[in-house]
Structure 1
């Protein structure tokens, strides 16, 4: 299975593992980016995301959503599900997320 075939749960776990390897448990809120691509409805995604409190940017066939949140598994699971739902609703490809490393 290639990385692009991995489920979002597996990909989310891989990001958290990379954070943990740097001493970050994900609990501290931090700047987090979510990436959407494709020829679906970016305008509607932007509208819904802004109403949900995200900063949105992008152009043409790409949208990036930004927010500050914790990324530990319990906190992040509902956000990941929401991103996947938005991708399906607006016929876009949700390519995953990235965040800053935060160690205390």
Structure 2
């Protein structure tokens, strides 16, 4: 299990502790830091349907998705590959708890 897999599982465990299965789509943020190519990351992410923001050495990507393990694993892998491609540090994600 990679560091990101462990961190993803920890976020899902915190959601589950509040009665959230992760299946309901919700606003989700992804964080990138470093001195790599934020402009190219922003361009690729916008083409993939993400809203992008940030400044200097930080980029935040936003979207609405489910975060259960099966749905989220490919997105997490994509974020890690984008970070590698643009020489950035992927610092993980956060989302709201949804219990309805």
CA RMSD, Structure 1 to Structure 2 (Å): 0.7
SS in 2 for 1:34: strand
Matched positions, count: 99
TM-score, normalised by the number of residues in structure 1: 0.94
Structure 1 stretches of 4+ with a deviation exceeding 3 A read: none
Q: Does 1:99 align with 2:58?
A: no
Offset of 1:76 from its aligned partner?
Answer: 0.1
C-alpha separation in 1, matches of 2:46 and 2:78: 14
Offset of 1:28 from its aligned partner?
Answer: 0.1
SS in 1 for 2:83: helix
Aligned to 2:72: 76
Aligned to 1:19: 15
Q: How does 1:4-83 map to 2 (within 5 A)?
A: 7-83=3-79
